[in-house]
Amino acid sequence: MIKLSSTKNENFSSRNYGIQFGNLKTNYIQMKKIAIIIMSLMLTFSAFAQSKPDKMEWWKAAKFGLFIHWGVYSVPAGVYDGKDIDGIGEWIMNNAKIPTARYQAYAKQFNPVKYNPEAWVKMAKDAGMKYLIITSKHHDGFALFGTKASKWNVVEATPYGKDLLRPLAEACHKNGIKLGFYYSQAQDWNNPGGATYSGHWDKAQDGSMDEYIDKVAVPEVKEILSNYGQVDILWWDTPCDMTKERAEKFLPILAKYPNLITNNRLGGDYNGDTETPEQFVPATGFPGRNWETCMTMNDTWGFKSKDNNWKSTKEILQTLIDIVSKGGNYLLNVGPTSEGLVPQPSIERLAEVGKWMKINGEAIYGTTASPFSYLQWGRCTQKGDKLYLHIFDWPKDGKISIQLLNKISKAYLLSDPKKMLVIEKSKTNNTITLVGDAPDKIASVVVVELNGAPKVLPLPAAGKTATASSEKEGTSAKNLFDGNPKNSWQPKPDDQEKWAEVDLGETISIGAFSVVEPWYPWDNKGQKLEIQYKSGDKWLVALALKTNGTGHTASFPSVSARYFRLKIVEAKEPTLNEWILYRAD
């Protein structure tokens, strides 16, 4: 196509010179030819424009990235004045209200002589990660790069004296890992005028936020985007005091980088390209939006010497699969020490995840969300007409069943594609018989090939309207089934009943449910709920539980009923955003 247009282009220029005004007929023919040429050029360009890849394509296929929280906070590493400071490590200055001069003195001990960016990139790559995002500046305002906008940076304030981003950027570019910079645009606890969620605790922090944005944040963002070669992601954080006006100051910079992916944390009502659930997996994903769950491997982002509450490889890997099955990406964090070392438990877990990804990566990269809403034994991902069943709980009787209306043409283990598995089809189910022991202790993948797109039964309450004991103004029980995890239902404050109810229209056997709750992971409340069903004229309890505060999915012994209730038994701020009922297998 491009070749054709360039030939025409050459013809166009050479003939054009020959046009004589006196010869109308030649002119008409020439004009017609020109018009055809222009049209074909336009078509070429528009085809080119259409085939221009969407900037999110690589990101959607990537699924797995490394988050790196690194800075001066790795020096106190959770301990200040001999006291263990609660909370996440990178917040130590704020949590312990450390005066700026005391905090800045830690920079004198920030000397990451063991920093090996090549090894970090290799570690990420071997884990199966496709991108990394590093804190170029966190809320403490300390820049990991040489900036002209503030002296509070690694080159000027530490004995190390060298830019930390450059060699990492180079290693990413060399090894084909996409590069992202986290930048705390609003909170800055050391550069005067920067915002803090809890107010200033040191006079040195006072100043004008607008001036801080103009003189520090905007110039630094320009620097990180222009000094390190290609940057693929800019990850804003905590839009504290970010008015629309303040957020707008960053827009002209972004306009220069049309392929840059940004998240939803700039503030001023800018949504960016991605939703960023933090420390949890949204039960329903974010339909219609790209999203990325970021998560720690222990309980802190920035290094804390005494935090040994490591998640197991099983939890990490099953979380990755869970996220991917819901259409999202997983941004998994490491918090290196002030010497520049990634904690050994993180290295080990990443290596173990990498081993699994080597064998099973096909079932992760480039896949889309599961067509099934709930699978008791594991998760599912999809690529075209192929389904990947990730079996977490290998069945004792060797059988797994999926509610799929299609006939399966083939099923086999991803680790053993030659051995076909036996499939039995009933009207609404396919049952696959597995042979032998689970090939993987954490998740064994069965590939299911179909002739055409998967056909599944709709969710029992899809399109139904919930009613409620009461509705607080501005909220509605209708929001529970609208597929939008951001709208909520709240009962009125004086409501003693606090239930929402749905009529499924017919008796259906239900075996599991999900709720989506508003997410405040740092202020995780949890709600006591009951799933009730109507038997005769009585309401019976199918399941009572306390949610984890960020959404919850649970199964229960199946019950057959037409009417179901979700009762909030106890909650500080009773709120539910979505409610999903799943058919029993």
- Residues lying near ligand GLC in the complex (CB under 6 A) are found at 69, 88, 90-91, 237-238, 278, 294, 301
Measured from the CB atom, is 69 or 552 closer to ligand GLC?
69
In whole angstroms, the minimum distance from the beta carbon of 135 to ligand GLC comes to 7
| Contact status, residue 121 vs residue 177, Cβ threshold 8 Å | yes
Residue 285 is encoded by which pair of tokens?
Answer: 């994903």
Residues forming beta bridges with residue 50, ordered by sequence position: none
Partners of 187 in the beta sheet? 195
DSSP for 173-216, please give it: HHHT-EEEEEE-SSB-SSSTT-B-TT--SSGGG-S-HHHHIIII
- State which residue, 296 or 577, has the beta carbon closest to ligand GLC: 296
Rounded least distance, CB 236 to ligand GLC, Å: 10
Question: What's the Cα-to-Cα distance from 268 to each of 60, 186, 248, 259, 484, rounded to whole Å?
Answer: 26, 11, 8, 21, 21
Residue 187 beta carbon to ligand GLC: minimum distance, rounded to whole angstroms: 7
Question: Least distance (Å) from ligand GLC to the CB of residue 180?
Answer: 13
Q: What is the 3-state secondary structure (H, E, C) of 11-38?
A: HHHHHHHCCCCCCHHHHHHHHHHHHHHH
Shorter beta-carbon distance to ligand GLC: residue 279 or 368: 279
How near is the Cβ of 37 to ligand GLC at its closest, in Å? 53
- In whole angstroms, how close is the CB of 309 to ligand GLC at the nearest point? 17
* CB-nearer residue toward ligand GLC: 189 or 372: 189
Give the C-alpha separation, 575 to 570, whole Å: 11
DSSP conformation letters of 51-87 = HSPPTTHHHHHH-EEEEE--SGGGTTTTEETTEEPPS
Residue 522 Cβ vs ligand GLC, minimum distance, rounded to whole Å? 7
| Cβ-based burial of 10 (10 A; exposed 0-12, middle 13-18, buried ≥19) | exposed
Amino acid at position 259, single letter: N
Closer of 91 and 582 to ligand GLC (Cβ): 91
Half-sphere exposure of 3 (CA within 13 A, CB side): 0
Q: Give min distance, CB of 197 to ligand GLC, in A.
A: 8
Rounded to the nearest whole angstrom, what is the least distance from the CB of residue 278 to ligand GLC in the complex?
Answer: 5
Beta-carbon neighbour count of residue 373 at 10 Å?
Answer: 23
Angle at which helix 313-325 crosses helix 344-360, to 10 degrees, equals 50
Q: Using the minimum distance from each CB to ligand GLC, give the nearer residue, 73 or 145.
A: 73
Residue number, 88 or 387, with CB nearest to ligand GLC: 88
| Residue closest to 517 by CA, chosen among 288, 264, 283, 278 | 283
CB 177 within 8 A of CB 225: no
Q: What are phi and psi of 30, to 5 degrees?
A: -60, -45
Q: Exposed/middle/buried for 489, CB within 10 Å: 0-12, 13-18, 19+?
A: buried
Q: How far apart are CA 65 and CA 139, in angstroms?
A: 22
Give least dist CB 296 to ligand GLC, A. 8
Question: Residue 110 or residue 481: which is nearer to ligand GLC going by CB?
Answer: 110
232 or 278: CB nearest ligand GLC: 278
Neighbours of 59 (CB within 10 A): 22
Q: Least distance from C-beta 225 to ligand GLC, angstroms?
A: 19
Nearer to ligand GLC, 110 or 301 (CB): 301
Tell me which amino acid residue 18 is.
G
Smallest distance from the beta carbon of 94 to ligand GLC, in angstroms? 9
Sign of dihedral through CA atoms 563, 568, 574, 577? negative
CB-nearer residue toward ligand GLC: 126 or 241: 241
Cβ proximity to ligand GLC, 237 vs 471, nearer residue: 237
Nearer to ligand GLC, 69 or 125 (CB): 69
DSSP state of 217: I
At closest approach, how far in Å is the CB of 212 from ligand GLC?
18
User: What's the min distance (Å) between Cβ of 241 and ligand GLC?
Assistant: 14
Question: Residues 6 or more apart from 257 whose CB is under 8 A from it?
Answer: 225, 231
Would you say 282 or 491 has its CB closer to ligand GLC?
Answer: 282
Let me know if 119 is exposed, middle or buried by CB neighbors in 10 A (0-12, 13-18, 19+): middle
